[in-house]
Amino acid sequence: MKTRRQVIQGGAAALATLAAPRAVLATFRGYPALEARAASVQLAPEDFPETEIWGYDGRLPGPEIRLVRGARLERSFVNSLPQPSAVHWHGIRIDNAMDGVPGLTQAAVPPGGQFDYAFTLPDAGTYWYHAHNRSFEQVARGLYGPLIVEEAAPPDIDREEVLVLDDWLLNPETAQLDPDFAAPHARSHAGRLGNLIVTNGRYDLSLPVKRGERLRLRVINAANARIFDLGLSGLDGWIVALDGMPLASPRPVTESFSLAPAQRADLIVDVTADQGETADLVHLLREEGFSQVAFPVTGQAARARRSPPAALPANPNMALTGLDTAHRARLYMEGGAMGGLRAAKLEGRRMSFRALARANHFWAFNGTVGMTDTPLLAVERGRAVRLEIHNDTAFAHAMHLHGMHFREIGGGGAMGPMRDTLLMLAGQTREIAFMADNPGDWLLHCHMLGHAASGMMSWIRVTA
Ligand code: C2O
Ligand code: CU
């Protein structure tokens, strides 16, 4: 196994970029500020120049926001970008008005503007926040950060690490972002895949550990389109939560597991590698294993090894009832390269796939490209919804529902874990169900952000 990779190629350019330091706004109108602004960070190896990014508070990832379940999050978003923006709090079962979706739940915040976000955090877990305007560009430029909601009684661990995964599409000479965020080829295929893979903004993240230590790893996939296939080496691990929500029982990591864009996994791992060795969170890529995060073992933990971890405490309102009388709907996903889509509606007009492609649109939900005037489904609050999703395309998609978590209905009616993002592989048909218990208008879209921008975007309405 290679323990380090430098996917970025080519020589270092001589020019260094200049970072203009700015005064950090500590508070704004009484709420702590979260400022989106341009910055430069050392993303590529040291012999490359710094990369110009957009980051919250100029950082990559943005500052960690950490609160306890039931607390109120209050942040004044300050937009110092040259584009309108808004902040989406991904995976939070949030008050609709705070969901951060321009055109659906709020107006986009113009350059120089601000918006106060204030809401209660109903669930413990690993969440994240990110820009939701031109997200195919703004998230690719670095506008995201972790949002951690602690359990009132946290699990028995020695320490915790938040690991935000991303891949960057950089010019191999200058280490600057490839500026073609809307590239038709990426949009019509697997999305914008990067050439530099990082964790917490570092291509070589290394976290010293002790043998026998028990860690909680909160892994967040913030990439535009990359599905991370992950494994463990020198670590014994269990997945204890997915997309923030605790599993009923911890699932041992025996082989690899996938993390689609926007998905999160909480792991509890015990360091089993010996002193002097290096344990790894392994990223599997084309049958090869790379070190996503290295954990060099520098000593021995005081405590002996423990028994497998217990389940995390359940969050409230995880029950799903009334499936027999559920509101039922279907979603057909079509389009993309090598797909069978001949024509679809765009803004009420039927257009051929060729004409759509010329307008840089490639995907359709139920025969329509992008947002519709009427929701995909409208349902009264309190009712269960069953949604059958058909991925009739040649690509994988990461389907994300705002505002509510769902469960997959598996074979024989078995219910999967609660999630907010579902990885749909090419050709798959899957069924999800959720309680429509959060009133408002909620997006349902592919979290491969170029796909969302070129057609894979829909919404549902829960009436009060
Ligand atoms: Cu994480 Cu609609 O997004
Ligand atoms: Cu997609």
pLDDT tier at 26 (50, 70, 90 boundaries)?
low
Ligand 1: residue whose CA is nearest its atom 1: 90
| Ligand nearest to the CA of residue 423, numbered in listed order | 2
What separation in Å is there between the alpha carbon of 193 and the centre of ligand 2? 13
Ligand 1 atom closest to the CA of 262, numbered from 1:
1
pLDDT tier at 19 (50, 70, 90 boundaries)?
very low
CATH 2.60.40.2240 correct for 323-463: no
What is the pLDDT, as a whole number, of residue 134? Answer: 98
What is the pLDDT, as a whole number, of residue 23? Answer: 44
Q: Provide CATH 2.60.40.420 ranges for the chain.
A: 4-150, 159-300, 323-463
Residue with tokens 């191999």: 172
What separation in Å is there between the alpha carbon of 448 and the centre of ligand 2? 5
Q: What is the mean pLDDT of residues 399-404?
A: 98
Ligand 1 atom closest to the CA of 101, numbered from 1:
2
Q: Which of 222, 232, 231, 178 is nearest to 197 (CA)?
A: 222
Phi/psi region, residue 112 (left: phi>0; alpha: psi -120 to 50; beta: rest), is left
Ligand 1: residue whose CA is nearest its atom 3: 90
239 C-beta closer than 6 A to ligand 1: no
What is the pLDDT, as a whole number, of residue 302? Answer: 82
CATH hierarchy code of domain 159-300? 2.60.40.420
pLDDT tier at 29 (50, 70, 90 boundaries)?
low
264 C-beta closer than 6 A to ligand 1: no
pLDDT tier at 287 (50, 70, 90 boundaries)?
confident
pLDDT tier at 4 (50, 70, 90 boundaries)?
very low
pLDDT per position as a tens digit, 61-95: 999 999 999 999 999 999 999 999 999 999 999 99
The residues facing 334 across adjacent strands are 364, 392
What separation in Å is there between the alpha carbon of 88 and the centre of ligand 1? 7
Q: What is the mean pLDDT of residues 293-322?
A: 93
4-150, CATH topology level: Immunoglobulin-like (2.60.40)
419 C-beta closer than 6 A to ligand 1: no
Q: Which of 333, 369, 374, 332 is nearest to 349 (CA)?
A: 369
Q: Please state which of the ranges 30-39, 261-270, 323-332 shows the lowest mean pLDDT.
A: 30-39
For the purposes of burial, counting CB atoms within 10 Å of the CB of 184, is it exposed (0-12), middle (13-18) or buried (19 or more)?
A: middle
Residue 433 in contact with residue 323, Cβ under 8 Å?
yes
